[in-house]
Amino acid sequence: MITSPAWRGRGYAVLGLARSGQASVRALLAAGAEVVAWDSDAARRGALSPSPLQGRGPGRGEATNASSGISPLPTLSPEGERAFAFADLETIDLAGFDALVVSPGVPINRHPLAAKARAAGVPIIGDIELFAEARAGLPPHKVVGITGTNGKSTTTALIHHILETAGIPSLMGGNIGLPILEQQPLPEGGVYVLELSSYQIDLTRSLDCDVAVLLNITPDHLDRYKDFSAYRASKLRLFKMMRPPHIGVLNWHVPVGEALYRTLFETHPCEFWSNYDDNVEDPYDLWGAFDEHGQTASRDHLSTQQDWPTLQGPHNAQNAISAILACEALGVPEEVISEALKTFTGLPHRMQRVGVVAGVTYVDDSKATNPESVAPALGAFDRIHWILGGRAKTDDLDACAPYFDRIARAYTIGEAGPRFAEILRPHMAVDESGTLDVAVARAHRAAMPGDTVLLSPACASFDQFRDYEARGDAFRDAVEGLT
């Protein structure tokens, strides 16, 4: 567990008790802080094992009305003082708390507690900010932060794999794997590799990454932001928290990439590296120049993309170059990077081949939750039976249109099914399947040897599944049921 002595004796309100929220509570209590926590889900509250609390009296977080619903939990401080209680945070006075710790899944931009905290002068932070505060007490280390609309998890896992191949102690955290505070501190020389969503960056004030990576920015999560400019500004905060001599890695070959690069390069004191080369016309060229000072590196001896079995497609070329630049910034030798690219096993639900049945390949790309992230998958295969739909983030499929000629038939599911069927029907055969199991069965009947059945939904999963992972698992189960 990662903790900080700076938290001792301080008071924290914690909103949201999913994995990161529970980890925050445990880390704060272990450090000697006082915590009042809440989640509307009783099962999540129950996961923290309530029992009578010793000596709880008036103090920080006193209820503002009799229906506060405070449920005490066990004291964990060695002195036997009050340490932890449940309370609906909307019913208590937040004055006196040192921070409100919010889980990234809580829509803080429209949650009434945000205004209440600001009125009380209480900072609103997340578990990544707690990690940033704890860094001073950890063995000397480095942090890599990766953000972007698409490709974060693959790039995070790839950087972690390269570091492990190099023998450098490393762990993944943030928006991937275990909550960062739940993990054990790395030894001296270790590297924390953090996947960071815009929500997590919003809740962070002081995370000074040694290397910060921006993969891309396309419209997404606009239900949480006023407009695309606000979403983009959220991503850029990762770089604004950096201090020299730390390094930013930017993908030049994406919309707004060049403008962002020049803005940051001209206004920020840190050094920025990019996959830019004005002598190369191919937007997926892997071996561009680092920066506008002319610093270059010859990578002719590095393996090429055809040698990377789990990193196919132009989008993975961009993920790979970002990981390569980040690891070179950390001093990893190129020959180690080359070997790691060949041995990377990839991540579930990201263009993952889950089976071949009667000569037809079945690919799980459930993580593709917007059209921009679907387009690379469509570009990677011929004669596709495309399963798409769910809870839409956009009303169009414009980003996918250049690949419509590769699709033999589309199978629409979920809330977006009727709308997507309407869009696609002028361009291809469409089956309004409704549910994933029906879509897989119908695609199985229609596909011919050599075809690919691709689950790449272009939508969130929440209309029919718990999350994209559950959707991908259901796809695999349906495919296994065909044999």
- All domains of the chain in start order, with CATH: 5-125 (3.40.50.720), 135-343 (3.40.1190.10), 352-480 (3.90.190.20)
Is pTM beyond 0.85? Reply is no
What is the C-alpha to C-alpha distance for residues 179 and 205, in angstroms, rounded to an integer? 18
What's the sign of the alpha-carbon dihedral 465, 467, 471, 473?
A: negative
Closest CA to 62 of 36, 83, 98: 36
Mean pLDDT, range 61-86, rounded to an integer = 51
Q: Per-residue pLDDT for 364 more than 60?
A: yes
Q: What is the pLDDT of residue 185?
A: 98
pLDDT of residue 474: 98
Q: Is 240 annotated as a binding residue?
A: no
Q: What is the largest CA-CA distance in the chain?
A: 72
pLDDT of 65 above 60 = no
Question: In this predicted model, what pLDDT tens digit does every residue of 365-379 receive, in sequence order?
Answer: 999 999 989 998 998
Percent residues over pLDDT 70 in the chain: 81
373 against 440, higher pLDDT: 440
Residue 281: the pLDDT is: 40
Residue 301 predicted with pLDDT over 60:
no
Give the Cα separation of 292 and 438 in Å (integer). Answer: 53
**Strand 391-392 vs strand 459-460: parallel, antiparallel, or unpaired?**
antiparallel
pLDDT (mean) for 124-134: 98
Higher pLDDT: 62 or 184? It is 184
Lowest-confidence range among 121-135, 155-169, 218-232? 218-232
Side-chain-facing half-sphere of 189: CA atoms under 13 Å: 8
pLDDT digit string, tens, across residues 145-155: 999 888 899 99
Whole-number percent of the chain with pLDDT over 90: 64
Q: Is the pLDDT of residue 173 over 80?
A: yes
Q: Note the pLDDT of residue 96.
A: 93
| 149 assigned ligand-binding residue | yes
394 is in an annotated binding site: no
How far is C-alpha 133 from the chain's CA centre?
21
| 99-113, 151-165, 267-281: least confident range | 267-281
Taking the alpha carbons at both ends of the chain, their separation in whole angstroms is 44
The better pLDDT of the pair 419, 334 is held by 419
Q: Is the pLDDT of residue 167 over 70?
A: yes
Asked if residue 142 belongs to a known ligand binding site, the reply is: no
The most confident of the ranges 241-255, 320-334, 397-411 is 397-411
Give the pLDDT of residue 297: 39
152 is in an annotated binding site: yes
Structure tokens at 309: 């079995």
Which residues does the annotation mark as catalytic?
Answer: 152, 175, 221
Rounded to an integer, what distance in angstroms lies between the CA atom of residue 475 and that of residue 455? 8
- Among 7-16, 257-266, 301-310, 436-445, which is the least confidently predicted range? 257-266
Q: What are phi and psi of 169, to 5 degrees?
A: -55, 135
Among the ranges 9-18, 239-248, 277-286, 300-309, which has the highest mean pLDDT value? 9-18
Q: Is the peptide bond before 245 cis (omega within 30 degrees of 0)?
A: yes
Tokens 């199978």 — which residue? 411
The neighbour count for residue 94, using CB atoms within 10 Å, is: 23
